[in-house]
Chain A
Amino acid sequence: MLQSLSIINYGPILLTLHLATISLAIMFMISMPLAWWLANTKSRLGRVVETLTALPLVLPPSVLGFYLLVFLGKGSFIGETWTSMTGEPLVFTFSGLVIASCIYSLPFVVQPLQAGFEALDKRTIEASLSLGASSLRTFLDVMLPNMRRSLVVASVLGFAHTVGEFGVVLMVGGNIPGETQVISIAIYEHVESIEYEAAHLLSLMLLAFSFVVLLAVYGTQGVKRESTIA
């Protein structure tokens, strides 16, 4: 067993965790105000933005990856601006991978948060404000604690989905060891090189990780159900 573990290259695992952590942090920064707005707006623009945010759920990863390649690649406005600012291209780099991951996994963070905001008792927010609390205090002391389950689900799903993505990563990041080679790409490469043992170990790790993630999500739902019944 130990001998088997020694054949694993831990670089892709660490890179994946690094990517998922950074992406999740960025997604939360974007998703919090976006989800709040989507939960409260009645405008048609809100429904358009909601649809755009949910697009990665139904688009084939290759399609999304292709368009990201077009819009972030050499010759594109975003790509050229980034290059002029940092001296590096966006595609086939870790930075490009982060942007692609954020876009691809965004609905998995936005939607639970939006549901959480929608489920909040608006009266408690109004009560807090009428008691003299600032908007920030109301957000931290009243809103966030009452949407803990949504925060857990958004974190777990956003992180897990970034860990497991393949198509978009391959299109935008390619397969550069130490730079863009994440676990799913590493498994693909092991299979192509007929290194089934290494592929097997990495796949088992992802399988176990996915199981734990789903267990965590359903676990919080179970707790919610019990507390509701009680």
Chain B
Amino acid sequence: MTSLTVNLKFRRLSFTLNLYAEIPGTGITVLLGPSGSGKTTLMRLIAGFEKADAGSICFGQNTWFNLDQGIDVPVRKRNVGVVFQDYALFQNMTVAQNIGYGVAKKVRPAAVTRWVERLNLSGLEKRYPSQLSGGQCQRVALARTLATNPDLLLLDEPFSAVDSHLRFQLRTQLIELVAAIKKPAILVTHDLEEARQVADWIGVITAGRLARFGAARDIFNDPGDYKTATVLGWRNLLPLTLNQDGSLSNFKISTKSRLAVGPWGQIQVNGIPESAKWLAIRAEHINLKRRSHSECALQVKVAGFRELGAVKELLCRLPDSTFLYIHCPWDVTLPSLGEMIMVHLPVQHLRVLGDEISLTGWRLRSLTSKDSDLGEVHAGYY
């Protein structure tokens, strides 16, 4: 397993990238972040298309870049395979010529045949890129890259230019290919659905810094800080004020609305730092009906709704005008606009976040069995 260690500083007019990352030598690592956060720049630095102002890049025992030691291995000698967002196919070459471009002449025909079959491109070998669909172009780009047997695969938003109905299929194909070649891959995207589908590891980049890195399941389940949560699609981020003792009996969602757990039931969170600033829950985890005792209930006013394809989004207003977003199944009967309703927040899905990344891993515990006997944890106006 050959891991990639990156420790870089890169500064341009209005942008600074400054990060350290150890990227595992197996599976697909997804670099996720908003536009302009630096994820594509990081990928270009790793590939060698850009030169950092300081730091180093090491792939296993090989140093690709080290400014202090004067090492800067050229792109063509790093043996990285790069798949671009807009395919970057050679328009003057056929599909077969594109795929065989990076392969030694002796083994070229065999490699072309192998990857044409592997990526379902049979019959298209003599076509030019202008005669292909977006999905076919992307498969040619993948085949061209994989045919060179790269040590590391870099993919820059590879499916963003492809029709949405093809993306799922291409991502599935990518997962299978990466597993088959047993080489690490780094995929840059801002598409959460894509990240969820393909990621073994997630690196969240915000403003040129690596905010979080870890196993995809852990990161998605517990974003840890406000910025990461927003990048990962957590819509409900409620301002939080904690008591000094760390108990939740008096903690406030906001100034007007108290999440009153009360003396009869406590949600124990040991050692929550004072820097805790946000209570977070995913929109799909909030229930319109009570499902268990381990839920907090909030009274809210229905402020709007909209269709989101497979789900309906309900927009609710808390007394202090903070909004709660709730995703319901498409077939559920929604309450009327302006109606006051109770919504239920399962405790196991509540997360406490800080402004910075130091709160990683903090989460509210579920009610204990003793607590649950006390009934529903209730919230309302006080």
Binding site for B on A (CB under 8 A): 121, 123-124, 126-134, 141-142, 145-146
Rounded to whole angstroms, the CA-CA distance of A124 and B102 in the bound complex is: 13
For residue B323, CB closer than 8 A to chain A, the reply is no
Rounded to whole angstroms, the CA-CA distance of A126 and B144 in the bound complex is: 13
A142 CB contacts on chain B under 8 angstroms: 90, 92
Beyond A126-B49, A126-B75, is A131–B148 a contact (Cβ under 8 Å)?
yes
Q: Is the interface of B mostly helix, strand, loop or mixed?
A: loop
Interchain CB contact under 8 A, A132 and B88: no
Contacts A126-B88, A127-B82, A127-B88 supplied; 4 other A-B pairs, CB < 8 Å? A124-B88, A131-B101, A141-B101, A146-B90
Interchain CB contact under 8 A, B79 and A123: no
**Which of B86, B91, B144 lies in contact with A131, CB distance below 8 A?**
B144
B102 CB contacts on chain A under 8 angstroms: 131-133
B145 CB contacts on chain A under 8 angstroms: 130-131
A145 CB contacts on chain B under 8 angstroms: 92
For residue B219, CB closer than 8 A to chain A, the reply is no
Rounded to whole angstroms, the CA-CA distance of A133 and B76 in the bound complex is: 6
A132 CB contacts on chain B under 8 angstroms: 76-77, 79, 102, 148
Interchain CB contact under 8 A, A130 and B86: no
B49 CB contacts on chain A under 8 angstroms: 126
Beyond A121-B88, A124-B88, A142-B90, is A130–B101 a contact (Cβ under 8 Å)?
no
Nearest 4 pairs between A and B by C-beta? Answer: A131-B102, A123-B88, A145-B92, A127-B88
Rounded to whole angstroms, the CA-CA distance of A121 and B145 in the bound complex is: 18
Beyond A131-B102, A132-B102, A146-B91, is A123–B86 a contact (Cβ under 8 Å)?
yes
Q: Write 10 A-B pairs (CB below 8 A) sorted by A numbering.
A: A121-B88, A126-B82, A127-B89, A127-B90, A127-B144, A130-B75, A130-B145, A131-B101, A131-B102, A142-B90
Rounded to whole angstroms, the CA-CA distance of A121 and B77 in the bound complex is: 22
Rounded to whole angstroms, the CA-CA distance of A8 and B268 in the bound complex is: 107
Interchain CB contact under 8 A, B82 and A130: yes
Q: Which residue of A lies closest to B144 (CB)?
A: A131
Rounded to whole angstroms, the CA-CA distance of A146 and B78 in the bound complex is: 26
Most chain B CB neighbours (cut-off 10 Å) among A126, A131, A134, A145: A131
A146 CB contacts on chain B under 8 angstroms: 90-92
B84 CB contacts on chain A under 8 angstroms: 123, 126-127
Q: Which residue of A lies closest to B102 (CB)?
A: A131
A126 CB contacts on chain B under 8 angstroms: 47, 49, 75, 82, 84, 88
A128 CB contacts on chain B under 8 angstroms: 90, 101
Return the CB mask of B70-110 against A: 1 if under 8 Å, else 0.
00001111111110101011111000000001100000000
CB distance from B141 to the nearest CB of A (A): 8
Rounded to whole angstroms, the CA-CA distance of A126 and B74 in the bound complex is: 11
A127 CB contacts on chain B under 8 angstroms: 82, 84, 88-90, 144
Rounded to whole angstroms, the CA-CA distance of A126 and B76 in the bound complex is: 9
Interchain CB contact under 8 A, A124 and B75: no
Interchain CB contact under 8 A, A130 and B90: no
Interchain CB contact under 8 A, B47 and A130: yes
CB distance from B51 to the nearest CB of A (A): 14
Interchain CB contact under 8 A, B80 and A133: no
Rounded to whole angstroms, the CA-CA distance of A157 and B86 in the bound complex is: 33
B79 CB contacts on chain A under 8 angstroms: 132
Interchain CB contact under 8 A, A133 and B81: no
Interchain CB contact under 8 A, A130 and B81: yes
Return the CB mask of B342-370 against A: 1 if under 8 Å, else 0.
00000000000000000000000000000
B77 CB contacts on chain A under 8 angstroms: 132
CB distance from B203 to the nearest CB of A (A): 21
Interchain CB contact under 8 A, A130 and B92: no
Q: Which residue of A lies closest to B148 (CB)?
A: A131
Interchain CB contact under 8 A, B76 and A130: yes
A130 CB contacts on chain B under 8 angstroms: 47, 75-76, 78, 80-82, 145
CB distance from A117 to the nearest CB of B (A): 16
Q: Which residue of A lies closest to B44 (CB)?
A: A126
B80 CB contacts on chain A under 8 angstroms: 130
